[in-house]
Amino acid sequence: MNIVSWLTDGARIPLGSLVKEFINFLQDHLGWLFDAIATLFTAIYDVATWVFTAPPGWAVIIVLAGIAFLAKGWKLALGTVVGLALIMTVAQWENAMLTLALTVVAVLIATAIAIPLGIWAARSQTVSNVVRPILDFLQTMPAFVYLLPAIFLFSVGPVPGIVATIMFAVAPGVRLTELGIRGVDPEVVEAGNAFGATPGRILRQIQLPLAMPSIMAGVNQVIMLSLSMSVIASMVGAPGLGRPIVQALSSVNIPLGFEAGIAVVVIAMILDRITGGFGRGTRKRRSSSTNNAATASDQTATERDAAPAPTA
């Protein structure tokens, strides 16, 4: 009866207060760890910022166009040049490069976490069962909520933006890596075991190459989510295209908002097409290797059948 009356009288569990106390506990006892993470992320971000902002704009355009050409051909390279030139002509080049630097840092760190964790989850059902609800939480939590603990633990600036972006974007990388590893044909893995290959060699030479299309799809999703979150991260002091977008919203400046928004769209399209092109190249190589193996097997069987029977 006490529980029923407690519920009917408007009971409220102080969940938010408990979370705040937990964050205070982390800051009090693990402040040194968060300071080290902030120092590391700041150093990486400074290097990425220098890479994208120190060279002249035309040099960055040439490099990115060359990467686009390797990924998908001259059409994507031409589109990359046109899109980046558009960003430069609307005076959003520096902001775009800062956003690109933050995105690259977040993607590298998120991928370094997602792929090993996805492999571990694919090889252990227990790990998969533990990781799955955490990924559900990360994917369904509103993006702005990530900013609150990031500000509290890392103050303002690019570091909380990077941390919030990693938390927001890491989940699809883990899921698609696990899916790709689990999707490898068990007979192929059994064949590797039959020939005495170690688990590490099976992972490197069989499972990872065959799962690479799925892994690249996960990397693509990580990039897209990181780019979208890097704009929101400007609310906690992260530099880049998010700042003019927030400024345009506060002052109802339609021209500024459209120019910054179109710069985000251009960067997103370029990154999406480049990663998609490399992913399709991986699938083509996988298909070619499979066909070659099948052809070699058929030729061997044909030669064996056509060989003359031994005479007594």
Per-residue pLDDT at 283: 55
Contacts for 1 with CB less than 8 Å, ≥ 6 apart: none
HSE (CB half, 13 Å, CA atoms) of 2?
0
Q: What is the pLDDT along the chain (312 residues), one digit of tens a residue?
A: 465 565 555 566 777 777 778 777 877 777 788 888 888 888 998 999 999 988 888 899 999 999 999 988 888 899 999 999 999 988 888 989 998 899 889 899 999 999 999 999 988 889 899 999 998 888 888 877 777 777 777 777 788 888 888 888 899 999 999 998 888 888 888 888 888 778 888 888 888 888 888 888 888 888 888 888 877 888 777 788 888 888 888 888 888 888 888 888 899 888 888 888 876 655 555 555 444 434 434 444 444 455 454 444
Per-residue pLDDT at 50: 92
Q: How far apart are CA 77 and CA 84, in angstroms?
A: 11
Contacts for 244 with CB less than 8 Å, ≥ 6 apart: 92, 95, 256, 257, 259, 260
Which spans in the chain are helix H?
2-8, 15-29, 31-53, 57-72, 74-89, 93-123, 125-140, 147-154, 158-182, 186-194, 199-202, 208-232, 242-251, 254-306
Which amino acid, residue 185? D
Asked whether the whole model's pTM tops 0.85, one would answer no
Q: How far apart are CA 227 and CA 100, in angstroms?
A: 8
Per-residue pLDDT at 23: 78
Contacts for 65 with CB less than 8 Å, ≥ 6 apart: 77, 78, 80, 81, 84
Contacts for 269 with CB less than 8 Å, ≥ 6 apart: 79, 83
Q: How far apart are CA 262 and CA 111, in angstroms?
A: 26
Contact by Cβ (8 Å): 247, 256: yes
Contact by Cβ (8 Å): 181, 164: no
Sign of CA dihedral 174, 177, 183, 187: negative
CATH architecture of 17-289: Orthogonal Bundle (1.10)
Q: How far apart are CA 113 and CA 174, in angstroms?
A: 8
Q: How far apart are CA 283 and CA 1, in angstroms?
A: 63
Rg (CA), the chain: 25
